[in-house]
Chains A and B, each alone.
Chain A
């Protein structure tokens, strides 16, 4: 059913960035951290966060208008429910995501330019500095181990002996797979500094004797580590074009043993690329941040897999869009 738009609806969308900007600026300035320690008046808050007093007063009052802060007799305090979510040590913290999205918001504001020129555009770092921006980005990639185990369990019993994790990241998924399949071993393959981080996590999980670490770049290397009967490709296709993904799947095919399987974890769109909503927004994120990348439908994945020697593709949808899984069998003959 198609929505009928009114001027009021459209004006609401045209202002939706204001509460975002107010929340995100407060997070970047550590307003929530400071007020979690103690409620304070705007001038004290300005000193605490190292900002302009007049401007801090305006921001604090707008946070009250947005109901993110309370104000009593001139003293600002956190609204209920915010401390656990918007401070670094909060029990339900989303702060790294919030800080990262503040950085991407600056690029989204130039979306028209990106669409004209083809992305991405550079906007410089936040007030927190380039290093802090990168840390926030990496933190958003962190998946909790429980979530990974639950996604893997939903796939049913995995039968394989040797897993190749292509672009293994911090090894969260490889660890969960190895824990689910006690007799299996894994080859973890990623850029050198990422492999170093993965090794730390694997050792902490007590799995080092089942893992081989290989440094490399799957876009540049001509061959991937050989011999696996399960290849895990997690959150990679959305960074590339379909042509590049076919190239990657072909390398995976060449490296694997006969009869192996490929498992892709990524956003999987409906056929017309408009659902899930998160995926449609994620495609724009790829547009504003990367030269290539987007999100793909199951039909597109199937086609790209079929062209590179994988058949029988199955889709396991997950409520977290990034954790949908496609699994396919390697066949020996690659179609022309």
Chain B
């Protein structure tokens, strides 16, 4: 059934970004940590943040209007639930997700340009700088996945492998879930050198360091991936690339796998019309504004690209309305002609 829009609803969507911008500015300025330590006036907050007084006062009032802050006699403090979720040391913190979102939002607001030109607009880093934004990006992936990873892994059936290669393993969320599901297995986590310290930290915190090998590299430019695994996990990387780039990557994975090994591609899998799941249609726009060539793909497209790289028995091992569909395939030793 198609929705019938009213003018007020369309106005509401037009300015919904204002809430997002206020939340993100507060997170980037670390307003919630400062006010979480003690309530204070806008003037004092501006001093602590080394920010503009008028700007800080207007921001604080708008955050109070949104309910993120409470204001009592000119003293501001975080509303219930905010310190836990939006400070770095908060229990169940999603701060990295919000900080990564702030960086992405600067690209999203250039969407008309991106559609006209067909690719991302370089917007430059925010007040935290490019390195901090990259770290937030990696940590954001941990925030998004940590709760669901064990459940998704369990839903794939009893995993049968001895050695897993995590291609672009990031914060190791998935590797850790697999390592816990298969206590005897070894994991090789492969990602860019600046990402590995973050991976290592999470693996150490999980007490799994002795079962992990960390290999620095770049799956786009390296000729070969770390060899010998009987399961390759390629999580949320297919959408960053074009179909040709995915074929090249799948071929490198195929070459690196032991005979009879499997590949599992975790990603959003679209219907053939490319409008369901709705999450995927929105995510494709995210890739448009954030990457040169990325997008979302249907099962038919992913199957074709896996088969072109030499994989057989392609199946949709898990179907989900979000990023956690999983396509599985098996390595044969001979490439098709």
Q: Are B54 and A109 in contact (CB under 8 A)?
A: no
Is A144 in the interface zone, CB < 8 Å from B?
Answer: no
Number of cross-chain contacts by CB at 8 Å? 277
Specify the chain B residue showing the minimal Cβ separation from A272. Answer: B71
* Stretch binding the partner chain, chosen from B97-105, B170-178, B195-203, B254-262: B97-105
Is B281 an interface residue, CB under 8 A from the partner?
yes
B68 lies within 8 A of chain A by Cβ:
yes
Stretch among B16-24, B182-190, B245-253, B311-319 lining the A interface: B16-24
B1-59, CB < 8 A from A: 2-7, 10-11, 13-25, 28-29, 49-52, 54-59
Say if the beta carbon of B118 comes within 8 Å of chain A: yes
Partner of A284, one of B5, B18, B24, B115: B18
Query: Which residues from A are CB-within-8-Å of B54?
Result: 118, 287, 292, 294
Q: Is the CB of A118 within 8 A of B52?
A: yes
* Binding stretch for chain B, among A67-75, A148-156, A256-264, A313-321: A67-75
Task: Tell me whether A74 and B61 are in contact in the complex, defined as CB-CB below 8 angstroms, given that A3-B80, A10-B85 are known contacts.
Answer: no
Q: Contact between A21 and B3 (Cβ–Cβ < 8 Å)?
A: no
What bracket does the count of chain A residues touching chain B fall in? 35 or more
Complex: A79 Cα to B9 Cα, angstroms: 13
In the bound complex, residues from chain A placing their C-beta under 8 Å from that of B4 are 79-81
Contact between B7 and A85, CB atoms less than 8 A apart: yes
- Is B112 in contact with A13, judged by CB distance below 8 angstroms? no
Using A114-B55, A287-B58 as known contacts, say yes or no to A79 and B20 having CB atoms under 8 A apart.
no
Q: How large is the interface on B (under 10, 10 to 19, 20 to 34, 35 or more residues)?
A: 35 or more
Q: Tell me whether B65 is interfacial, beta carbon within 8 Å.
A: yes
A51 in the interface (beta carbon within 8 A): yes
CB distance B10 to A94 under 8 Å? yes
Q: Decide if A134 is an interface residue (CB 8 Å cutoff).
A: no
Determine whether the beta carbon of A82 is less than 8 Å from that of B17.
no
Please measure, in the bound complex, the distance between the C-alpha atom of A203 and the C-alpha atom of B68, giving whole angstroms. Answer: 50
Q: B113: nearest residue on chain A (CB-CB)?
A: A127
A177: Cβ under 8 A from any B Cβ: no
A9–B23 CA distance with the chains assembled, in angstroms? 12
Q: Is A299 an interface residue (CB 8 A)?
A: no
Q: Give every chain B residue within 8 A of A52 (Cβ-Cβ).
A: 115-119
Determine whether A29 belongs to the interface, using a CB cutoff of 8 Å to chain B: yes
Bound CA span A302–B5, Å: 41
In this assembly, does A50 line the interface, its C-beta being within 8 Å of a C-beta of chain B?
A: yes
Instruction: Enumerate A273-287 residues with CB–CB distance to B below 8 Å.
Output: 273-275, 277, 280-281, 283-284, 286-287
* Interface-central residue, A50, A52, A286, by most chain B CB under 10 Å: A52
Give the most central of B13, B111, B281, B295: most A CB within 10 Å: B111
Bound state CA distance, A283 and B94, in angstroms? Answer: 28
Complex Cα gap A114–B29 (Å)? 11
- Known contacts A116-B55, A273-B61; is-contact A10 B86 (Cβ 8 Å): yes
A36 vs B302: C-alpha distance in the bound complex, in angstroms?
35
Tell me the bound Cα distance from A70 to B273 in angstroms.
12
Interface string of A1-25 (1 = CB under 8 A from B): 0111111011101111111111111
Cα(A90)–Cα(B102), bound, Å: 34
What is the CA–CA distance of A92 and B51 in the complex, to the nearest angstrom? 42
Most chain B CB within 10 A, of A23, A64, A110, A281, is at A110
Alpha-carbon distance between A51 and B112 when the two chains are bound, in angstroms: 9
Report if A106 contacts B (CB, 8 A): yes
Residue A231, interface by CB 8 Å: no
Given contacts A20-B15, A62-B284, A80-B2, contact A286 B58 (CB under 8 A): yes
Say whether B25 contacts A11, CB under 8 Å. Answer: no
CB distance from A106 to the nearest CB of B (A): 5
User: Which listed residue, A14, A19, A53, A115, touches B98 by the CB 8 Å rule?
Assistant: A14
Query: Which of chain A's residues 196-226 have a Cβ closer than 8 Å to chain B?
Result: none
User: CB-CB contacts of B275-300 with A at 8 A, as 1s and 0s?
Assistant: 10011111011111000000100000
Given A7-B94, A272-B64, A287-B55, A110 and B106 contact (CB-CB distance below 8 Å) = yes
Q: What is the CA–CA distance of A286 and B74 in the complex, to the nearest angstrom?
A: 21
Q: Which B residues touch A79, using CB under 8 A?
A: 2-5
26 A-B pairs (CB sep. < 8 Å) = A5-B81, A6-B81, A17-B20, A19-B16, A21-B17, A21-B109, A23-B13, A25-B115, A58-B284, A61-B284, A64-B275, A65-B281, A65-B282, A71-B273, A79-B3, A92-B7, A98-B10, A101-B15, A111-B21, A111-B25, A112-B28, A118-B52, A119-B55, A126-B112, A127-B113, A284-B22
Nearest 5 Cβ contacts at the A-B interface:
A52-B118, A280-B65, A118-B52, A5-B81, A81-B5
| 11 other A-B residue contacts (CB within 8 Å) besides A20-B15, A58-B281 | A5-B85, A21-B108, A24-B111, A25-B114, A58-B295, A94-B11, A97-B14, A101-B14, A111-B25, A115-B29, A119-B52
